[in-house]
Amino acid sequence: MSSSSNEKMYISLREQALGEFRKALEESLERFNKEKNSCVVMEIDYVRSLVNSAINNLDSHFAEYKNLPGIIQEFPIMIEEDVGTTSEHPIIIDCDDKVGVSQAENNPRKRKNIWKKSKNAKKAKSVARSLRQELPPVPRIQDSLFNKMATSRQLYKESWEALEFVGDRVITSCLLKIAEQKYIKRHTASIIRLCVRNIATNKILAAYCLTLGIEKLNEMTSLKIKKRHADAFEAYFGSYYLVNGELATCIYLDNLMTPLLNLIIEGVASGNKKPMDAFKIASNYFELEWIQDGNKLT
């Protein structure tokens, strides 16, 4: 296939993903209208305005993407270990006000099943801490209402699910945009699309959620890895996109996910094209064995 044909095919794939994204945004308006929480009901016009603004801004989606230092100034949410306890569950601290938003779970034995299948709880803790240092910290959603909707699943059920629905399309659309300049000259459009699909699976998104600590923002206490861990990642970045915009979202996801996407691309180019192949790569990357255990998240 010629390079021009390959680029045209890739543009077609991006247009298809963008169409699905637009549809998700339009459908999210109906979902937000079903929210019963009074905070959202009172601000529904504002919520709708942000979604409509995102829909209008899709017209500029195909503008050239550049990830240059200093383009976006991030204000991260820091996730730090509570050195004063023996808990395996970090306390979450906001950079500005230093107020903890969730309590540490005081049970290292249970936490080992989340971070790693290991008999050594200290080793599991060390792995979790090192991974958080390697990955960029969670960026702040710079709007109090949308931050609450993305991190309070129990209080804003309908809105949280609407954001999760949007976030699923955000991740695919942004990764395809990021991947074009990185891979299109060396790989076919179909290989890139397959790799984006493989990295955006529930298991890998759940691994990002747990590694970054997003599940703690939602005060999830399940001792098992669930689909809702992936949903929490999607909800957070669905909200982040609506508030902070596409460029900020692309830059963060680029810094967060490209290291693993590079490995998956190399694997697929070598003939390892099945989702399980990507799970094995991700399992080694995160040092989390459950990613490749063959079980589907429910």
pLDDT tens digits, residue range 247-267?
Answer: 999 999 999 999 999 999 999
Q: Is the pLDDT of residue 236 over 80?
A: yes
Q: Which residues pair with 77 in a beta bridge?
A: 138
Band of pLDDT at residue 221, cut at 50, 70 and 90: confident
- What pLDDT is recorded for position 133? 54
Give the pLDDT band (50/70/90) at residue 48.
very high
Pair 35, 158: CB distance under 8 Å? yes
For residue 111, what pLDDT is reported?
40
Radius of gyration of the chain (CA): 19
Question: pLDDT averaged over the chain?
Answer: 83
CA 125 to chain CA centroid, nearest Å: 22
pLDDT band at residue 125 using 50, 70 and 90 as cut-offs: very low
Sign of CA dihedral 155, 159, 165, 170: negative
pLDDT at residue 1, rounded to an integer: 74
Is pLDDT of 132 > 80?
Answer: no
Closest CA to 54 of 173, 231, 189: 173
Region of poorest pLDDT, from 46-60, 168-182, 217-231: 217-231
pLDDT at 298: 93
DSSP for 259-297, please give it.
HHHHHHHHHHHTT--SHHHHHHHHHHHHT-GGGGSSPPP
pLDDT band at 73 (very low <50, low <70, confident <90, very high): low
Of 176, 189, 173, 175, whose CA–CA distance to 3 is shortest? 189
The dihedral of CA 111, 114, 119, 121: what is its sign? negative
Band (222; pLDDT cuts 50, 70, 90): confident
- Domain with residues 3-61+135-292, CATH architecture: Orthogonal Bundle (1.10)
What sign results for the dihedral spanned by CA atoms 62, 67, 68, 71? positive
> How would residue 93 be classed by pLDDT, with cut points 50, 70 and 90?
very low
**Least confident piece of the model among 2-6, 67-71, 182-186, 215-219:** 67-71
pLDDT at 105: 37
Fill in the amino acid letter for 277.
D
List the chain domain ranges: 3-61+135-292, 76-117
Model confidence at 291, pLDDT cuts 50, 70, 90, reads: very high
Predicted pLDDT of residue 254: 96
Q: How confident is the model at residue 148 (pLDDT cuts 50, 70, 90)?
A: very high
- Give CA–CA dist 147/84, Å, rounded: 28
Q: What is the pLDDT of residue 76?
A: 65
Res. 272: pLDDT tops 50: yes
Given a contact cutoff of 8 angstroms between Cβ atoms, the answer to whether 158 and 36 are in contact is yes
Categorize the per-residue pLDDT at 116 as very low, low, confident or very high, splitting at 50, 70 and 90.
Answer: very low
Q: What is the mean pLDDT of residues 229-239?
A: 98
